[in-house]
Amino acid sequence: TIGGLNKPYGVAVDEKGQIVVAEGHGQCVSIFTASGEKMRTFGTFGVEGSAPGQFTNPHGVAIDCDGNLLVCDSHRVQKFSPQGDFLMSVGTRGSKPLQFNFAMDISVNPKNKRIYVCDFNNHRVQILNTDFSCFGSLGSG
């Protein structure tokens, strides 16, 4: 059993079987081996932050088609390399395209590589291209 998680909200598994867990109250994302050993953590455990690579209530996580880690974090989505280096982010609080009112969950379509983000309080799913530009949305936001 994997122990020591602080309110896990999101989970994804990469092609190597590594387990990625968003720790909502831990303000971090942890990566475990398939056998449950903690390999590394992104963010500072227990410390909220809005700078690149920091988290404020991370939720959904996904692995994109290039193996990068995508993390829903309050009103933005952050992208990290497979090695854990911060690459980019998108989003601020709002209701326009590329703005979020609580990015809750995320998924990637492996066929067209588009990224789908549940924009919880805007009652929509925003669809992003791999460069985080807006492709469109579903719902009433």
For residue 1, the model assigns a pLDDT of 44
Bridge partners (DSSP) of residue 8 are 23
Find the mean pLDDT for residues 120-134. 97
pLDDT of 140 reads 79
Residue 56 DSSP code = S
The pTM (predicted TM-score) of the whole model is: 0.93
Q: Binning pLDDT at 50, 70 and 90, where does residue 82 land?
A: confident
- Asked whether residue 132 carries a pLDDT value surpassing 70, the answer given is yes
Q: What is the pLDDT of residue 12?
A: 97
Closest of 64, 54, 1, 51 to residue 29, by C-alpha: 54
Q: Which of 79, 78, 124, 80 is nearest to 100 (CA)?
A: 124
Asked if residue 70 lies in contact with residue 106, where contact means CB atoms within 8 angstroms, the answer is yes
